[in-house]
Amino acid sequence: MSGPAELLRDFVNTYDVETDTDDLTSPQALRDWLEGHGLQPADDLALARNLREGLRAGLRHNHDVVAYTTPEPLEAALSALSLRVAIDGGTPRLVPADGAAHRGLAELAAMIAAAHADGTWPRLKVCVESTCQAAFIDASKNRSRAWCSMRVCGNRTKTRTYRARRQAEGPGMPA
């Protein structure tokens, strides 16, 4: 199983904003995705999508250096999931509560705390390119990466900014 940040990134990226493609098209697709990532199955597709988009909203804030409150979509999804603290080998961690109806989704929610504990949560971000919004892990030294790919999304943003600036300058300006 991959680390918590990678798992959260992959979950957020089950919806591709650019192509409007959703990998979680049915309760069975959700079960398959969760089980394929070593998590317990869950059937609540609406809750899964709310958790995913709540995470996407939360990850937008990881570009900022300042502390922030949990965005409402993420807060709403998290409040529907039951977690408890377990201590394994002297190490505390969050796990789904016994009998939790949405165990796989609760396991994903617990990954937020695990990613924070291992230091990867602030590096988990979504691309600032509005047409993309893919989740990525910022591996840059100073944690300043804004785009999932400089070559694609960074170039799109910079080209759009350049064209807007040129258009604002009006015709007749040297190129």
Please name the residue that has the structure tokens 């609760």.
106
Tell whether 97 is covered by a domain.
yes
Cα separation, 39 vs 102, in Å, equals 11
Helix axes 27-36, 103-117, angle to 10 degrees: 40
Q: Does a structural domain hold residue 147?
A: no
Reported confidence tier of residue 61, pLDDT bands at 50, 70, 90: confident
**Domain contains 146:** no
In terms of residue numbers, what domain contains 43?
Answer: 4-126
Give the percent of the chain with pLDDT over 70. 92
Q: Is residue 94 part of a domain?
A: yes
Q: Which residues pair with 106 in a beta bridge?
A: none
- Say what the pLDDT of residue 7 is: 97
Distance of CA 51 to the CA centre of its chain: 9
Number of domains in the chain: 1
Strands 83-88 and 91-96: antiparallel
Model confidence at 39, pLDDT cuts 50, 70, 90, reads very high
Residue 2 in contact with residue 20, Cβ under 8 Å? no
pLDDT of residue 143: 76
Would you say residue 35 lies in a domain? yes
Tell me the pLDDT band of 54, cut-offs 50, 70 and 90: very high
**More reliable by pLDDT, 140 or 65:** 140
Asked, for residue 76, whether it belongs to a domain, the answer is yes
Residue 63's pLDDT is what? 81
Tokens of 133: 């919004």
* Residue 40 located in a structural domain: yes
Q: For residue 175, tell me if it sits in a domain.
A: no
What pLDDT, on a 0 to 100 scale, did the predictor assign at position 150? Answer: 66
